[in-house]
Amino acid sequence: MFSNPRFWIFMVVFQVAFGLAVFAMTRQYYIQDTATVSAVPAAQTSAATEWAGSKEGGELEQLITSFPGPANTTDPSVLSDQADEAFVNQQFDRAADLYHQLLMADPGNVDTYNNLGITMHYLGHSEEALGVLNEGIKVGPDYQRIWLTLGFVNSQLGNNMQAKSALTTAVELGADTEVGQSAAEMLRALGPG
């Protein structure tokens, strides 16, 4: 069965079609949801500041400063709009630089981690994307969209167990939301086991 050329041709076609379908679903989702970054509640900001000051905070600073581009002290909402626009226009290098600047200004914004993670994946830096997404999950473990993105990136890398785990968490955080429904679709596409 596995030496049959038709089987391998089918598998290649299936993998390409699956990858394109998942890419199209997530891309469409992110294009539709380019709202500005909301203000982070004071309690979340102080928790993020405490975390950033801890021993693990060095990892965050290293992660943020390991990318090119100086920190910009302009209005975060303007930076967010510019980053989202660059992402939509597939200017992923520019979007990544702007998202890094946003993280420098507000390391407690989980949405920025999510956006930077998917941007890094589209730049071909999927392992770095996983690192960014996992850091974001530490900051906001109840943020449903970051679990969806983590599941997507893992599925693209062939990490099916990790993808299913992340997507399951996204569904558990709200199966009736658009994000939860997207996660459920991706889970079905990944199949059983």
Residue 20, in any domain of the structure: no
Better-scored residue on pLDDT, 126 or 12: 126
Helix (H) or strand (E) holding 117: helix 110-122
* 106 and 179 fall within a common domain: no
Residue 67, in any domain of the structure: yes
Q: What is the pLDDT of residues 72-118, one digit of tens each?
A: 447 888 999 999 999 999 999 999 999 999 999 999 999 999 999 99
| pLDDT of amino acid 51 | 38
Name the nearest CA neighbour of 27 among 118, 99, 102, 98.
Answer: 118
Name the nearest CA neighbour of 52 among 100, 107, 117, 103.
Answer: 107
Q: Is the pTM of this model over 0.85?
A: no
* 152 and 91 fall within a common domain: no
Q: 1-36 burial, b for 16+ CB within 10 Å, e for fewer? A: eeeeeeeeeeeeeeeeebeeebeebbeebbeeeeee
* 146 and 119 fall within a common domain: no
Output the six-digit token pair for 126: 């999927």
Q: Highest-confidence range of 1-5, 35-39, 138-142, by mean pLDDT?
A: 138-142
Structural domain of 47:
43-129
Output the six-digit token pair for 18: 């699956």
